[in-house]
Chains A and B, each alone.
Chain A
């Protein structure tokens, strides 16, 4: 947050939420070009900007790709899936995406959701911004939007928004996998928003305000809080641990590996559908861990299941964390040092035709179950160029030794459009 961000009010005097909502389709995005700007006549945003620590990163909202994919993983997640409300129109959807983009562009810069924000509006009206992020820096907030299969074609086959012809052929409800124990109400959704930030309050503030903006157009279907990255997405980050206590995401695709990103994450210019070029596909899986049972497993068995040592994360075939696993290496007794059914082996690209994905999951703890067990696990998020990549890997895991200790309880898939162009909004490609 710097002082050069000071031209917004002058450039666009009408950026209040009220006037934004009154804008005709196609006009609402006008303010987005200013998304990277900050200062506000109301002074509210300035207060937040001033409070920003130099150490708190600020990521641009607009760009070729949406932020929140290769962005270095932040510490906290609030993920939310929405359904469009009955009776909504194509205009409603378009205006929602515009309003969401506008609000997200502001919030990611550490600003209130509108110019009048939390305390700068009429005392006779509820504030546009809910206020819990007042004084907090941007905290690396990214807001990433996605479109579920049902947005294009409803479950009953209806083409509610004239988008059926744009449905990506690969965008379909994921097939059933062995061990699935899915809760339908906590799965899927017409739209999704992934909000990540280093301060949980900032991520929650984003989802709360975006939900409020959606009232009457889209309704919250389910949401999930996550903490503690379970993958790294940049080389500078150390590999974090999941709730099994193991390093996770050692072999993840990193943000500087542009070749791998182009091969495995971004939908290419020559891919179908054309409108999704520069985008990706997001898979979310809520994977409950049977924590108490796992904790009673002896260390050697835990390591055999994962295929890595717990201390360093090195493959059991030897070396360091980053050493490539050697699946042919055998111990003195002639048994493979990395078990054939270990997680690391079954998920490895070498055994899956080179398939890789970008993982971006978080731990979750939703209190405890009625049996007094921690209601905890992994909220798995992965980005890939095609949903087939995830399906291939998940099928390969059908014999995973780890399956005894996990249950997949929620699932969803969304097409992630490219980033907003300057002066436009996320998803504009759908309405051209």
Chain B
């Protein structure tokens, strides 16, 4: 229930460091000498790497799965969020190889037996030496970025699944304090990749619709926000997020049986999302959009912030909007980090744009940090002053305006 989650634990770390790490290049296996090879042993509870550091350049990790389940191996950036490289679908007893071009810097390694959750055996990994020029042609580099974005989405959903399990278990068994404490951090996994779920038609409405949205569209109201209202029961005279309809109109706190229904439904819907992001269909969808899809994802996440989160309409009863806000920004920044080098490579305008966007993310992060962190929690939305909201809005505008030109720049 409260086991540490990789992403949560490191969300507060500056993502700025991400920029220092170039995209891992695409390297043919024959380029790799055996001398460079590192070995990784994945068991049910550990993830042993043969060395904790390496020289920059092409690295290969030969991963042997000695666990009882299908496993994965990840090389993460220092923030613990951005994936530098991953190899998945390693059957028990099998060995697969991860090849990356690693720039100097600090990294994390971990394995994920069962391909769900936050992984085991997380360890620091250092790369020393000089910067390396990534090899491979432009198309290959871009495909690699798409693959890394796919890996990021999968990783987030894989962490969402057990987090939702724990959250709904607390909710269904009436441990409301526990469930309330988990609510913002569970949602963070979802909010980081929100545009992916939203592209799925009816899945996002089932998982993330607010009551007023569900009523407006005549849908059964389920998902996070239904549970939220049970956990933060409104006063009798409170109004819904539309500022108009009484909170208790056509609503009553869920019974134990209803809680069970809504909890199980959320688990099933999140499971469906997990199935989707591991499907061929998802990879095809990402492939079809290419790097523009990643860039547009970065933009879409910031639009989420600008339209829903800054107005405090998302988490109407819990007031945890700033956590969603921060997770949207993290997801947006992650997507940007995957395409920024392509923007910078288009010339001085592109380089200036990428630099400007990076700086604007930093400004927004700094302003958000004044109100809390995903790790320690944020202040309730209603405690923000008008000036606070204004400042955040200005910083979103300052970021969103150059970010809106990212896709066309990347596509040049």
Contact = CB atoms under 8 A, between A and B. Distances in A.
Interface of A: 18-19, 21-22, 85-87, 121-122, 124-126, 212, 215-217, 219
A19 B292 contact: no
A212 B402 CA distance: 11
A424 B360 CA distance: 29
Nearest to B363: A87
B408 A124 contact: yes
A255 B397 CA distance: 40
Given A124-B292, A216-B398, A22 B348 contact: yes
Interface residues of B, number: 22
A245 to B, nearest CB: 37
Given A87-B363, A215-B397, A125 B408 contact: yes
Nearest to B295: A124
Contacts of A216: 356, 360, 397-399, 401-402
26 contacts: A18-B349, A19-B349, A21-B352, A22-B349, A22-B352, A85-B394, A122-B408, A122-B411, A124-B292, A124-B407, A125-B409, A126-B404, A126-B405, A212-B401, A215-B394, A215-B397, A215-B398, A215-B400, A215-B401, A216-B356, A216-B360, A216-B397, A216-B402, A217-B398, A219-B394, A219-B397
A89 to B, nearest CB: 12
Contacts of B409: 125
Most A C-beta atoms less than 10 A away, residue of B356, B390, B397, B399 = B397
A86 B391 CA distance: 9
Interface in B120-167: none
Contacts, number: 42
Contacts of B398: 85, 215-217
Contacts of A212: 401
Contacts of A217: 398
Nearest to B356: A216
Contacts of B349: 18-19, 22
A85 B397 CA distance: 12
A125 B295 CA distance: 11
Interface in B203-253: none
Contacts of A125: 404-405, 407-409
Contacts of B348: 22
A216 B394 CA distance: 7
B32 to A, nearest CB: 37
B390 to A, nearest CB: 8
Most A C-beta atoms less than 10 A away, residue of B348, B402, B405, B407 = B405
Given A124-B292, A216-B401, 11 more contacts: A21-B352, A22-B348, A85-B394, A85-B398, A87-B363, A121-B408, A124-B407, A124-B408, A125-B407, A215-B398, A215-B400
Contacts of A18: 349, 405
Interface in B366-412: 390-391, 394, 397-402, 404-405, 407-409, 411
Contacts of B404: 125-126
Contacts of A124: 292, 407-408, 411
Contacts of B356: 216
Contacts of A19: 349
A217 B363 CA distance: 12
